Chains A and B, each alone.
Chain A
Amino acid sequence: MSALSAGEGSLAERAREGDRRALARLLTEVENRTAAGEAAMRELYPKAGGAHLVGVTGAPGSGKSTLVAALIGEARQGGRPVAVIAIDPSSPITGGAILGDRVRMQIHAGDSDVFIRSMASRGHAGGLAASTVAAAAVMDAAGFPLIFIETVGTGQSEVEVAAIADTTVVVQSPEMGDEVQAIKAGLLEVADIVVVNKSDRPGADRAASQLRAMLTVGAQHDRAMGDRPRPKRPEVLLGSALTGAGVPELLAALDRRDDARRKRGTESLDSAALKRAEAQISGILAQRVSDQLRQPSRAGERSATLRAVAAHEIDPFTAADRLLALLGERGDG
């Protein structure tokens, strides 16, 4: 811990003063869910909330990392600092991971106002890591106004990013399939912006018009739905991360959404902020309950309950109720 306490001020203070090493160490503490990480979050969370969190998701190989790299370049032209959290999957077998998103972004490695952090999903499903939101809050408090959160390469239903990002960008390849793919439930429903990437390839225009046709077809129906929850009607943009075509337009579209979000202000908390709050609290609650149950004083009853469910002697609902009741009985063991 000596390296952690070296220098003046807490890690959180130093991270806010622009010390990138402190920021990196702090992200590790948060990622590892240490006591130091939690303490720093208590200090930093009230100072966060200003950044625009942009989720970037899509299938493996659709070009998410390359597109993020291009967006970084575009944002840096305007002088804005940019942070990135890039998540790749952990092996369910060994816990190991290859974090390869940086390869596409290394052109920005020499720029001290670009901070890129890779995270392994560590068993968390849904396309993110458990501590992604906390890591984004740390970057936000450290002064990054624009934060990209790149998910693992997703299938059709890893939509968690939409619950934590202010704006969700879904990246599609031109070879996405036919119109039926565009009307399926899941990923496309949560997009604020759909980017048909690789517009330098044949078929991109057609894919974009198919998406536009199918995603906007429900606009009239929306009005009839009144207050019921309904899917978003995303903008569909064409772009090529490779040639840079469409990238300025995409950043402009993101900035328009950010302006609208800011205009709504904090007094009327928008739903993205509320959803993010809920996602964070429920994640922490689940972790707290799990930590409590794992305390040595409860080990006996816990393992007996697990065995009873495994042997079908009691059902899992009864078991969960029993364990919850156990938490109420005793304080910290």
Chain B
Amino acid sequence: MTSPSEPQRPIKVLIAKPGLDGHDRGAKVLARGLRDEGFEVVYTGLRQTPEMVVSAALQEDVDVVGLSILSGAHMTLLPKICAGLRERGMDDVLVTAGGIIPDVDVPALKEAGVSAVFGPGTTIREVAEYIRGNVRRSN
């Protein structure tokens, strides 16, 4: 049992897979890894539209949205998600992305509101530490 002392407020992360590819191994491994890092991880599964991701992030009141995408549609879908989050008043939510995203696209994604892009080879520890260091809500 965990000690029932001071209220623990784990960082809450939504892991979502927008786009039509079915490669969810990475998202699942990351979800599992962040669980082991002490995060509360909401997993939404495959083939999420930007609206589904935004609505899940809103209802779950997450601190972080982690998006995994390998379909190549990142330049369309990720900015839509960032804009949707802003529209619904969630500009304090940290957005990160992972999957297969060419380096040349990264500046535009950052411009759109994605804080960090993690490519293949990133360790779970790196992602966890980035989140801990950059999460905007004071937990």
Across the interface, do B52 and A96 meet the contact criterion of CB distance under 8 Å?
A: no
**Please, which residues of chain A bring their CB within 8 A of the CB of B10?**
90, 95-97, 120
Across the interface, do A103 and B43 meet the contact criterion of CB distance under 8 Å?
A: yes
Across the interface, do A106 and B59 meet the contact criterion of CB distance under 8 Å?
A: no
Q: Is B41 an interface residue (CB 8 A)?
A: yes
Cα separation A24 to B44 with both chains bound (whole Å): 17
Across the interface, do A106 and B40 meet the contact criterion of CB distance under 8 Å?
A: no
A99–chain B nearest beta-carbon distance, Å: 4
Contact residues on A (Cβ < 8 Å of other chain), bracket: 35 or more
**Residues 1-30 (chain B) with a chain A CB within 8 angstroms:** 1-2, 4-10
Cα separation A244 to B113 with both chains bound (whole Å): 40
Closest chain A residue to B90, Cβ basis: A21
B46–chain A nearest beta-carbon distance, Å: 9
| Contacting residue for A24 out of B2, B31, B32, B59, CB 8 A | B59
| Contacting residue for A123 out of B2, B55, B137, CB 8 A | B2
Q: Of the 9-residue stretches A108-116, A198-206, A210-218, A269-277, which lies at the interface with chain B? A: A108-116
Across the interface, do A118 and B38 meet the contact criterion of CB distance under 8 Å?
A: no
Across the interface, do B9 and A32 meet the contact criterion of CB distance under 8 Å?
A: yes
B114–chain A nearest beta-carbon distance, Å: 20
Across the interface, do B39 and A96 meet the contact criterion of CB distance under 8 Å?
A: yes
Across the interface, do A97 and B4 meet the contact criterion of CB distance under 8 Å?
A: no
**Please, which residues of chain A bring their CB within 8 A of the CB of B77?**
none
Across the interface, do B2 and A106 meet the contact criterion of CB distance under 8 Å?
A: no
**Please, which residues of chain B bring their CB within 8 A of the CB of A294?**
5-6
**Please, which residues of chain B bring their CB within 8 A of the CB of A117?**
59-60
**Please, which residues of chain B bring their CB within 8 A of the CB of A120?**
10, 40
**Please, which residues of chain B bring their CB within 8 A of the CB of A290?**
4
Closest chain B residue to A34, Cβ basis: B7
Binding site for B on A (CB under 8 A): 3, 6, 20-21, 24-25, 27-28, 32-33, 90-92, 94-100, 102-103, 106, 109-110, 112, 115-118, 120, 122-123, 290, 294
Closest 4 pairs (CB-CB, A-B): A96-B35, A103-B45, A109-B52, A24-B61
